Amino acid sequence: MARRRQIYEGKAKILYEGPEPGTLIQYFKDDATAFNAQKRGTINGKGVINNRISEHIFSALATIGVPTHFIRRLNMREQLIRQCEIVPIEVVVRNVAAGSLSKRLGIEEGTQLPRTIIEYYYKDDALGDPMVADEHIACFGWASQDEMNDIADMAIRVNDFMAGLFAAIGIRLVDFKLEFGRVWENDYSRIILADEISPDGCRLWDMKSGEKLDKDRFRQSLGGEAEAYQEVARRLGLLEGQEGENAVLDFDSHRKKRGK
């Protein structure tokens, strides 16, 4: 097999040159990081689970008209994606107070927000991904106003869809991170959804027990990270032998059965 050319390696994924011009292969790693990579570790099987979850969500979003970079899943750890120019802004959509929002504003974690909040962060690990405003984005030319309008509109559509998707399987969508990219068609560019959507970038809480089913288990050293990721996939019907309503389990009871 010919050796593939690596294009980029991030904290959770590797990008390789794709089989056709304008495509890339996205490989999902088991590596886990937190606090701007100050904490590092491994969650066994995370890459496989995230690949399946992200495929499932991106495919579903495409059916409601959200343009994405996803083309198809290739194998257990890889996807074929459309190459795009990443907008250097992380978009965080918040429905419930948690994480940095709770710390910054002194709001108790778990408080339902009066309305959904969209926040923007400049993608720069060396600077700690600082929070920025629309004025910064316009001033430094990171994205045009039309592009930011498209990004905000898509973020709200994704939030509405995902909140319903997860509520149907007993999971509360607390907040999540999105990344967007530009694709060029002749002299015209348009914004598409990129990166991944998985428990790595979402806060997902069991609606009954409040149990955390996301990377906060790693951040906060709670343990059971692999089982939590598997639980999300199981409820979505993505694991063999667990589909539909049969996938909806009480995670807290499941955890107790494991003796944890």
How do strand 202-206 and strand 171-185 relate by DSSP bridges?
Answer: antiparallel
Parts of the chain with a pLDDT under 50: 1, 241-260
Pair (96, 46) in one structural domain: no
pLDDT of residue 38: 79
pLDDT of residue 36: 73
pLDDT of residue 185: 86
- How deeply is 142 buried, as exposed, middle or buried, from its count of CB atoms within 10 A (0-12, 13-18, 19+)? middle
Pair (91, 200) in one structural domain: yes
CA dist 8 and 83 (Å) reads 12
pLDDT of residue 247: 37
CA dist 125 and 37 (Å) reads 9
Give helix 225-235 / helix 46-63 axis angle, nearest 10°.
30
Pair (198, 77) in one structural domain: no
In a domain, 259, yes or no: no
Any residues with CB less than 8 A from the CB of 90 and at least 6 apart, and which? 120, 121, 122, 123, 129, 177, 178, 179
Pair (64, 171) in one structural domain: no
Pair (124, 33) in one structural domain: no
CA dist 239 and 243 (Å) reads 7
pLDDT of residue 214: 97
Range of the domain at 172: 85-226+234-240+247-252
Provide the CA 134 distance to its chain's centre, in angstroms: 22
In a domain, 1, yes or no: no
Q: Are the C-beta atoms of 194 and 54 separated by less than 8 Å?
A: no
Question: What are phi and psi for residue 169, nearest 5 degrees?
Answer: -115, 25
pLDDT of residue 243: 40
Q: What is the CATH number of the domain that holds 43?
A: 3.30.200.20
pLDDT of residue 70: 98
Any residues with CB less than 8 A from the CB of 150 and at least 6 apart, and which? 190, 191
Structure tokens at 129: 């991904």
Pair (119, 216) in one structural domain: yes
Q: What is the CATH number of the domain that holds 109?
A: 3.30.470.20
Single pTM value for the model:
0.90
Q: How many domains does the chain have?
A: 2
Pair (221, 99) in one structural domain: yes
CA dist 20 and 218 (Å) reads 37
How far CA 258 is from CA of 128, 170, 252, 255, in Å, comes to 37, 21, 10, 5
pLDDT of residue 18: 96
